[in-house]
């Protein structure tokens, strides 16, 4: 297992002047039932603040006002309206499926619709309730779609999906189950681990208990989607690693002056962090550092 280092942030590059929102990724976030609206709003807001060009949130209509008052940059569709969801899905670069989605029949139908309509070149980030539901629904799990799938389980979600008890989640055991899934697995924990197909395992040497607040993983999903939408064209592995690294690097910085770092604090610092790194990367590129 190899530690990620700050070099992964080199994917955060200055933007070409001749460009528009369509060049920076279209993200669709799907989740947030009547009780867990905050989860999908944090994911959506993180995607917007991490630079995704166009973001749409498919959620329960009850969350519309909260969504728009938190992040008016995002568009809305009713997550039970398959036709509306599929219309957005068609032109989407990265999809987040699951934060706050819940595990009832409605959630199951939403997942089945996404699986039937996602395409091979799209990134599909599966998180939270969608992981728990997949673990229960073997038929859905056995029919994972052709897409770049990235699972983002915490240890209990990984136990449900992989069958490996938390105490037995070793690199070797995790790798076997990740290969069976044929997808990337980001196992979130203290020192998160990244299992990607045909790649060595990476470990995140950052982050700490000041991150242990509900919504922290939901926020990570939006950052991943935005990074895949912007930086994956040249190096998808590195874009993903950079998203995971950025999330905890901001938390570490903020923890110098805060007992707990909230998910929304991280969202609020994404723009500054990314600008600093894009400047630094530009200076390195022109030989100024």
Ligand X SMILES: NC(=O)C1=CN([C@@H]2O[C@H](COP(=O)(O)OP(=O)(O)OC[C@H]3O[C@@H](n4cnc5c(N)ncnc54)[C@H](OP(=O)(O)O)[C@@H]3O)[C@@H](O)[C@H]2O)[C@@H](O)CC1
Ligand Y SMILES: Nc1ncnc2c1ncn2[C@@H]1O[C@H](COP(=O)(O)OP(=O)(O)O)[C@@H](O)[C@H]1O
Binding site residues, Mg ion, CB under 5 A: 128, 217
Among 215, 222, 229, 236, binds ligand X (CB under 6 A): 215
Candidate residues 46, 48, 216, 223; the one interacting with ligand Y per rule CB under 6 A: 216
155 binds, among ligand X, Mg ion, ligand Y, none (CB under 5 to 8 A by kind): ligand X
What's the CA gap between 45 and 29, in Å, rounded?
A: 10
Nearer to Mg ion, 25 or 31 (CB): 31
Q: Between residues 154 and 247, which has the closer beta carbon with respect to ligand X? A: 154
Is residue 268 within 8 Å of residue 262, measured between CB atoms?
Answer: no
Q: Could you say whether residue 207 binds ligand X (CB under 6 A)?
A: no
Of 25 and 217, the one with the shorter C-beta distance to Mg ion is 217
190 is in an annotated binding site: yes
- Using only C-alpha atoms, what is the Rg of the chain? 18
By CB under 6 A, name the one of 82, 133, 218, 269 that touches ligand X. 218
Supply the minimum distance, in Å, between the C-beta of residue 289 and ligand X. 38
Binding status of residue 100 toward ligand X by CB under 6 A? yes
23, 109, 208, 285: which one binds ligand Y (CB under 6 A): 208
**Nearest distance from C-beta of residue 53 to ligand X, angstroms:** 25
- With respect to Mg ion, which residue has the nearer C-beta, 38 or 128? 128
Binders of ligand Y: how many residues, by CB under 6 A?
17
Which one, 61 or 214, has the nearer CB to ligand X? Answer: 214
243 belongs to the binding site for ligand Y (CB under 6 A): no
Other beta carbons within 10 Å of 102: 23
Backbone angles phi and psi of 107, in degrees to 5: -60, -40
Nearer to Mg ion, 37 or 217 (CB): 217
- Asked if residue 38 binds ligand Y (CB under 6 A), the reply is no
Residue 188, marked binder: yes
Burial 218-255 (b: 16+ CB within 10 A, else e): bbbbbbbbbbbbbbbeeebbbbbbbbbbbbbbbbebbb
CB of 96 to ligand X, least distance (A): 10
d(Cα 278, Cα 240) in Å, to the nearest integer? Answer: 16
Q: Could you give the residue ranges of the DSSP H alpha helices within 50-168?
A: 64-70, 82-89, 105-117, 128-136, 138-142, 155-162
Q: Which is nearer to ligand X, 152 or 230 (CB)?
A: 152
CB neighbour list of residue 170: distance below 8 Å, 6 or more residues apart: none
Which entry of Mg ion, ligand Y, ligand X, none binds 192, CB below 5 to 8 A by partner kind?
A: ligand Y
Q: Which of 195, 239, 215, 193 shows the shortest CA–CA distance to 93?
A: 239
- Is position 154 an interface residue for ligand Y (rule: CB under 6 A)? yes
One-letter-per-residue 3-state SS of 192-222 = CEEECCCCCCEECCCCCHHHCCCCHHHHHHH
Instruction: Give the separation between CA 93 and CA 103, rounded to whole angstroms.
Output: 25
Check the annotation: does 277 bind a ligand: no
Note the residues at the interface with ligand Y (CB under 6 A).
Answer: 128, 154, 188-190, 192, 207-209, 211-212, 214-218, 220
């Amino acid at each position: 297992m190899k530690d990620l280092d700050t070099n992964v942030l080199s994917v955060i590059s200055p933007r070409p002047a001749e460009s528009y929102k369509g060049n920076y990724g279209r993200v669709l976030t799907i989740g947030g039932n009547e009780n867990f609206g905050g989860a999908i709003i944090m994911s959506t807001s993180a995607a917007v603040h991490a630079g995704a060009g166009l973001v749409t949130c498919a959620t329960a209509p009850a969350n519309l006002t909260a969504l728009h008052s938190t992040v008016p940059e995002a568009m809305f569709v009713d997550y039970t309206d398959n036709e509306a969801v599929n219309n957005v899905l068609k032109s989407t670069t990265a999809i987040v499926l699951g934060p706050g989605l819940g595990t009832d029949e409605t959630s199951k139908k939403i997942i089945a619709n996404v699986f039937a309509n996602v395409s091979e070149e799209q990134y599909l980030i599966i998180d939270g309730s969608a992981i728990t539901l997949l673990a229960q629904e073997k038929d859905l799990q056995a029919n994972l779609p052709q897409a770049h799938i990235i699972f983002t389980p915490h240890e209990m979600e990984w136990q449900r999906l992989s069958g490996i008890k938390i105490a037995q989640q070793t690199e070797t055991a995790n790798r076997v189950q990740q290969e069976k899934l044929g997808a990337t697995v980001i196992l979130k924990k203290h020192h998160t681990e990244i299992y990607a197909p045909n790649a060595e395992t990476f470990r995140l040497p950052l982050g700490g208990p000041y991150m242990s607040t509900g919504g922290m993983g939901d926020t990570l999903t939006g950052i991943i989607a935005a990074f895949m939408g912007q930086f994956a064209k040249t190096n998808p592995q590195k874009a993903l690693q950079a998203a995971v690294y950025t999330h905890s690097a901001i938390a570490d910085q903020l923890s110098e002056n805060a007992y707990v770092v909230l998910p929304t604090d991280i969202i609020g610092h994404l723009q500054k962090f990314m600008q600093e790194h894009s400047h630094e990367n530009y200076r390195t590129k022109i030989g100024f550092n």
